[in-house]
């Protein structure tokens, strides 16, 4: 892409001050560990998450941070006239694609860890609520050949589900794809419900989602909630920034261990165990009481 060399040099020099790129003695610029994370082909790539955090709508909401801090709620409806996910899917197709790619990258990166952690002994059916394009579900079904799975997410998201889950895919005959809104209902009973990285929105949505899972599940069903905790992570800079972005766009928050435990307990679930999935995620293993 064409750029003016001098302003580009100034931009790169500024980025060097933050560890993104380094300047060599001959005046050229080189990759650093951090700048490599912006590449798509890095196994820990943060390229799409970085793009996501700088999408055009973010520049409209950050100036309203003071309002959000005063009111404790999202500033999105006031800035765009509708809720965040409605805006994303109805008016901001390109941004929705960046979101999907960001979610895909982080799901793919964590799906193996989740599949590694979860013991599916005795589980014949598993559902991923707000499961995105189904990478976690696909990893679980690949590992457990007798389990069946359900993927629930918004229609625009499941329409682009992982090829393994869609018609003709290797796992398709063991999968049901359910387009829907988990705040409106969870229309199936399974042995294990996974709720990963979705209880970060407003509290009412969290309450409704957990209530719907409780209404669908039978006593003894397992519910595993997986989240990044803001008080137990080596990546505080990233998590606290995402925490504020969640406040701005959906009136949400990254949870502390205690805030998540409280919401899970309020829903009537019994927490059996809390375990780290990897350095960034914790799994709250819960049971629907009898």
Ligand X SMILES: C[S@@+](CC[C@H](N)C(=O)[O-])C[C@H]1O[C@@H](n2cnc3c(N)ncnc32)[C@H](O)[C@@H]1O
Examine residue 229 and tell whether it contacts ligand X (CB under 6 A): no
Cα separation of 58 and 247, whole Å? 12
| Of the residues 107, 139, 228, 249, which one makes contact with ligand X according to CB under 6 A | 107
The site string for ligand X over 183-212 (x = CB under 6 A, - otherwise) reads: x------------xxx--------------
Interacting residues of 237 by C-beta distance below 8 A, sequence separation 6+: none
**Least distance to ligand X from the beta carbon of 182, Å?**
4
Stretch that binds ligand X, among 20-28, 128-136, 162-170, 236-244 (CB under 6 A): 128-136
Give the number of residues in contact with ligand X, rule: CB under 6 A.
16
| Of the residues 16, 154, 244, 287, which one makes contact with ligand X according to CB under 6 A | 154
Examine residue 172 and tell whether it contacts ligand X (CB under 6 A): no
CA angle 254/258/264 to nearest 5° reads 85
Select 184 or 273, whichever has its Cβ closest to ligand X. Answer: 184
| Of the residues 74, 126, 132, 162, which one makes contact with ligand X according to CB under 6 A | 132
Token pair listed for 189: 């009973």
Examine residue 283 and tell whether it contacts ligand X (CB under 6 A): no
In the complex, the residues that contact ligand X under the rule CB under 6 A are 85, 103, 107, 130-132, 136, 153-154, 157, 181-183, 196-198
């Amino acid at each position: 892409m064409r750029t003016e060399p001098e302003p580009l040099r100034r931009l790169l020099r500024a980025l060097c001050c933050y560890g993104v790129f380094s300047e060599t003695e001959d005046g050229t610029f080189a990759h650093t560990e951090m700048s490599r994370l912006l590449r798509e082909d890095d196994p820990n790539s943060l390229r799409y998450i970085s793009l996501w955090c700088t999408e055009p709508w973010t520049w409209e909401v950050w100036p309203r941070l003071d309002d959000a801090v005063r009111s404790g709620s999202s500033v999105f409806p006031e800035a765009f006239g509708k809720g965040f996910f409605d805006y994303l899917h109805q008016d901001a197709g390109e941004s929705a694609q960046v979101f999907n790619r960001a979610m895909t990258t982080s799901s793919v990166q964590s799906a193996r860890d989740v599949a590694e952690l979860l013991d599916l002994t005795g589980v014949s059916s598993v559902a991923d609520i707000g499961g995105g394009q189904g990478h976690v579900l696909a990893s679980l079904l690949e590992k457990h050949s007798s389990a069946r799975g359900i993927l629930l997410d918004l229609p625009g998201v499941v329409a682009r589900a992982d090829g393994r889950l869609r018609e003709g895919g290797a796992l398709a005959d063991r999968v049901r794809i359910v387009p829907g809104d988990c705040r409106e209902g969870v229309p199936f009973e399974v042995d294990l419900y996974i709720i990963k990285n979705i209880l970060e929105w407003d509290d009412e949505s969290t309450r409704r989602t957990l209530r719907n899972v409780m209404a669908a599940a039978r006593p003894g069903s397992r519910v595993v909630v997986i989240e990044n905790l803001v008080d137990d992570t080596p990546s505080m800079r990233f998590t606290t920034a995402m925490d504020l972005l969640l406040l701005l766009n959906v009136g949400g928050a990254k949870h502390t261990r205690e805030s998540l435990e409280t919401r899970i307990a309020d829903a009537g679930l019994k927490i059996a165990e809390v375990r780290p999935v990897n350095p960034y995620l914790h799994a709250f293993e819960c049971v629907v009481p009898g």
